[in-house]
Amino acid sequence: MPAKVIEILSSEEIRRTLTRLASEIIEKSGDLSQVVLIGIHTRGVPIANQLAEQIKLLENFQIPVGAIDVTFYRDDLDRVSTRTPAKTQIPLDLTGKTVILVDDVIYKGRTIRAALNAVLEYGRPETIRLLVLVDRGHRELPIHPDFTGKDLPTAKEEKVKVYLQDTDIKDSVELIRP
């Protein structure tokens, strides 16, 4: 029996969600000059860039954006598919900054744990927050996002696939049921 694909967020819904998340960042962060967005490769990077663009539109302030690859910080490399690591680009010393880690989907929390370890190599932030487009639950670690685009309770055998124009030629979030 073929898998069933259900669209959870359309392109327009993703745009609206990112606008809301940008507004939440502005509201909860206080001094935007201390905020740095760090996207986790692969799809967290374009999400971080889109958030920075939206914040610039809303507040006329450009937040620095970086990118981090967590491949070599993972504790589960034997269980996840590997890819060629992408380049980590951190625009400034993170010491004393409010770092907002940005990822597309949070599931077990292992990617975020790896990202926390990686970020600390670039300074000692005042605060590290987490923003995800989709939270599907099933955490193995005590990690919870501070900013969530969509809560999507799933069964463990289901998958959530995020497509973004920058990497996939379309914007969509889909739930795949086996």
Contact 164, 46 (CB under 8 A): yes
Give the integer Cα–Cα distance in Å for 125 and 14: 29
Q: What is the largest CA-CA distance in the chain?
A: 53
Residues whose CB falls within 8 Å of the CB of residue 30, separated by 6 or more in sequence, listed in order: none
**What is the CATH T-level fold of the domain 11-74+84-157, as seen in this structure?**
Rossmann fold (3.40.50)
Q: What is the pLDDT of residues 57-106, one digit of tens each?
A: 999 999 999 999 998 887 765 566 666 788 899 999 999 999 999 999 99
Predicted local confidence at residue 77, as pLDDT = 59
Could you state, in order of their start, the residue ranges of all structural domains in the chain?
11-74+84-157
How long, in residues, is the chain?
Answer: 178
pTM: 0.95
